[in-house]
């Protein structure tokens, strides 16, 4: 009886430890990137515009190094990243609302940098989103 109880305890400890370890080390996936509701429904006040190619210029300056020219995730820095990037021209990315793309692009998380300081103008931020829309295939 005594040994039984001990082994039950031992097994549950190992079990819990394993579950904890798996939960802790399993990589993040693009699907579990929760966007706060207030961003999801945010309206793009400049939908469809790319004044003087500002969006394209900013994309080339800040985003291309990782996401690549066409958004495929094949930029020059892509090889140094641990997080997988989804193809920005793909349906999965393009099906999201402008607000969702804004949140992911400007606020970011982990290896996707935050651009609040680098792209300060609200209008410029939307121009980048509009440019990303033009990458759609
Ligand atoms: C240092 C490399 C790097 C740079 C520079 C970068 N990104 Fe990213 N980006 C990433 C990585 C890595 C992910 C995946 C993040 C994740 O899923 O946790 C990502 C994800 C995204 C996503 C989410 C796509 C999806 O899965 O829904 C968008 C949108 C995005 N980036 C836009 C941009 C824009 C716009 C810029 C420039 C203003 C930019 N990124 C600059 C690395 C970068």
Rounded average pLDDT over 63-82: 98
Phi, psi at residue 124, to the nearest 5°? -60, -40
Tokens found for residue 49: 């515009």
Residues contacting residue 106 through CB under 8 Å, at least 6 positions apart: 114, 115, 116, 119, 125
Question: What is the average pLDDT across 23-42?
Answer: 82
State which of 98, 112, 120, 121 you would mutate to test the pocket of ligand 1, scoring each by most atoms of that ligand within 8 A of its C-beta.
112
126 Cα–ligand 1 center, Å: 15
What value does the mean pLDDT of the chain take?
Answer: 90
Q: Which pLDDT score is estimated for 106? A: 98
Q: What is the spatial distance between Cα 102 and Cα 40, in angstroms, rounded to a whole number?
A: 9
In whole angstroms, what is the distance from residue 130 CA to residue 86 CA? 18
Q: How far is residue 105's CA from residue 117's CA, in Å, rounded to a whole number?
A: 12
Q: What's the confidence (pLDDT) of residue 19? A: 62
- Judged by average pLDDT, the poorest of 19-28, 63-72, 89-98, 120-129 is 19-28
Q: pLDDT: is 50 or 126 the higher one?
A: 126
* pLDDT at residue number 31: 81
- CA of 1 relative to ligand 1 center, distance in Å: 57
- Percentage with pLDDT > 70 across the chain: 88
Q: Check: CB of residue 73 under 8 Å from CB of residue 85.
A: yes
Does the structure show a pLDDT above 80 at 18?
A: no
Instruction: Give residue 2's pLDDT.
Output: 62
List the structure tokens of 14.
């190992």
Token readout for 16 is: 């819990």
pLDDT, one tens digit per residue, over 54-65 is: 999 999 999 999
Average pLDDT over residues 50-73: 96
Pair 131, 55: CB distance under 8 Å: yes
């Amino acid at each position: 009886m005594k040994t039984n109880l001990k082994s039950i305890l031992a097994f549950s400890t190992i079990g819990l430890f394993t579950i904890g370890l798996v939960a802790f080390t399993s990589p993040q996936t693009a699907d579990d990137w929760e966007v706060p509701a207030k961003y999801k429904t945010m309206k793009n006040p400049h939908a469809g515009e790319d004044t003087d190619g500002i969006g394209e210029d900013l994309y080339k300056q800040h985003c291309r190094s990782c996401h690549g020219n066409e958004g495929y995730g094949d930029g020059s820095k892509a090889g140094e990243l641990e997080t997988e990037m989804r193809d920005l021209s793909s349906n999965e990315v393009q099906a999201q609302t402008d607000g969702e793309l804004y949140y992911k692009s400007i606020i970011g998380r982990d290896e996707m940098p935050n651009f609040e300081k680098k792209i300060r103008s609200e209008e410029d931020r939307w121009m980048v989103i509009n440019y990303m829309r033009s990458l759609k295939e």
